[in-house]
Every structure is written in C-alpha cells, then in structure tokens.
Amino acid sequence: MDAFVQAVEWLRLLLVHVPGLAPLAAAPYLFRPLLMVLALGAAGALVGVLVNLRCAEFHAEALVHAVFPGIVVGAVYRGIEAIIPAAAVAGVAAAAVLTWVGHRSRREASEAGTAVVLTSFFSIGLIILLAKGDMSGQLEALMFGRLLEITDVRLAQALAVSAIALLLVLATWKEQVAHAFDPVGARASGLRPVVLDLVLNAAVAGVVVSASTAVGTLLVIGYLVIPGATGRILAGRVRTMVAISLATGVGGGYLGLLIMIAPLPRPVSPQACVVLVMAAALLTAAATRSHRTGASA
C-alpha cells in the first residue's frame, strides 16, 4: 500500500505544473477524485459500449441495485474501507443470478425476473441498513457517494476492480461485438452466449463496485449508459463509437471536477457535476444528429 501511495503522490507532483491539470493536482484531496473519475470514465465507457450494443441498459440498472446489499454489509459491519470488497462479492453473485435468469426464461419472463432480482436485492440492502437503527445520513452517502472523501485504500481498491472490468471486456471484445450484432450467427460459430453474458454482467458489476463509495449506487448508471449512448448517436462504426464514448466518460469526469472547484454561489456535488456534464454531451450529440438529419432531408 505504501508503494501505491508513493506512486500517486509522484504522479501528482509530476502533473502539478501541467496546464489544465494544475488546479486538480495541486491538492491530494482533489487529485485522488480525479484519478477515480478518469478510471471510472474509461471503464464505464468501454463496458457501456457493449451495454448499448446489447440493449442491456435494464440489466445494468438491475446490477446497480443488486450490488447494494454488499455495499451496505461492508459499510455497516466492517467500515467504509470494506465497502468495495463486500460489494465485489455481491456483484459476483448478482452477475451469476442475472445470467441464470436471462438464460432460463423467455424474453418477457427474463425481464420480469430481472425486475424481481433488482427489487429483491435492493430491499435486502435497505432492511440490513435500517436494522442498524436510524442511518439516513449513511443511506444518502451510499446512494449518492462522497467523491471528495475517497482515501488511498479505496482508490487502490477501485482502480483494481476497474482494471478487472476492463480486462474482462477487452479479452472478449470481438466475441461480445459479434454476439451483439448477430446472436444467431455467433451461436452457430461456436460462441457460448451464456459465458459472454456472464462476462459482461461481471464487468458491469465491476464498474458499479468501483464507483460504490465515490459516486454512489444511483449515479453510477450514468457511467454505464451515457457515454455509450453518446457514441452510438454520433458514430457509424464501433471503433468510432468507442472513441466518442471514452471522450465522453473521461472528459466528463475532468470537466465535472473543474466545474466543482469553480467559484460558484453555492457548493455543488462533484459526482453530480460529472454526470451532468456527460448528460450535456449526450444532449449535444442528439441535437447535432437531429440537425444533420434535418439538413440532409
């Protein structure tokens, strides 16, 4: 852990005089959130492209809520530093359950089963949380995150889980894209849809787990949906879609933190600023696409 802390500090000092990064690298309490949102932006963007191509936004939303019991157990019984490890356990279980539900039912029944998993897991988390007494303040922190309070330990944990999520999607990228565009052909060529679904669900859960203490369980869906949707609106090829998605996810995190430290009449939530910047990018992309379509017509 000492080596990681020293590496982060070395990187901060290296970037402290770089134009554009200096305001965020000047203080450790701002630099750690910067690293966090950049990692989440990259992981969420790549995973989000597959989520968009597979039309799996509802599954992603279900995983966001299904990981909640693990977050609660870690926070309540082991402290805030145990949130990510406990959430990782819940994420693996949720990914396995949702994959099983998706392949054991027809499409309509699968969506109903996904909704049951979503509400059941989330309800379990609330029951555990409220069983410890009045923890409304803690509930707010778990829902919306505390980006500026991230520690070196939680940053290291989040970066490790984000890296695992990235490795999962990169290792199966071609197969995931092939299955997204032609499920029947992919199955005929020997690909195993259940394995691909499990990998994608695990990657989605990894992004959710990484963001659990910093962004919260409600806002993390923005990382999984908005960058990929923005790329889909503007791009005609998957490679271009990935580039736009990465620019939206990473750029949204950077610009959101700059807005947060800007002199404003009132303090603003950094994680909300990040998601709003990405949402603004999505709306701009939609307006641009509409204008192009109208001009060509």
Mean pLDDT of the chain: 84
Q: Classify domain 27-285 at the CATH class level.
A: mainly alpha
Domain boundaries, the chain: 27-285
Determine the Cα–Cα distance for residues 212 and 284; give it in Å rounded to an integer. 28
- CA 55 vs. chain centroid, Å, equals 16
Q: What's the confidence (pLDDT) of residue 89?
A: 86
pLDDT-derived band at 49 (thresholds 50, 70, 90) equals very high
pLDDT range class, residue 60, cuts 50, 70, 90? confident
75-84, long-range: CB within 8 Å, 24+ apart, which pairs?
A: 75/138, 75/142, 76/128, 76/129, 76/132, 76/135, 76/138, 80/154, 80/213, 81/151, 81/153, 81/154, 83/154, 83/212, 83/213, 84/154, 84/157, 84/158, 84/161, 84/209, 84/210, 84/212, 84/213
If pLDDT is split at 50, 70 and 90, which confidence band does 233 have? very high
Length of the chain: 297
Q: Is the pLDDT of residue 137 over 60?
A: no
Average pLDDT value for residue range 152-163: 90
What secondary structure does DSSP assign to 160-229, as a single string?
Answer: HHHHHHHHHHHHTHHHHHHHHH-HHHHHHTT--HHHHHHHHHHHHHHHHHHHTTTT-TTTHHHHHHHHHH
> If pLDDT is split at 50, 70 and 90, which confidence band does 214 have?
confident
Residue 31's contacts (CB-CB under 8 Å, 6 or more residues apart) are 8, 11, 12, 15, 24, 25
Residue 296 has pLDDT above 70, yes or no: no
pLDDT at 182: 83
Choice among 54-58, 111-115, 127-131 with the minimum mean pLDDT: 111-115
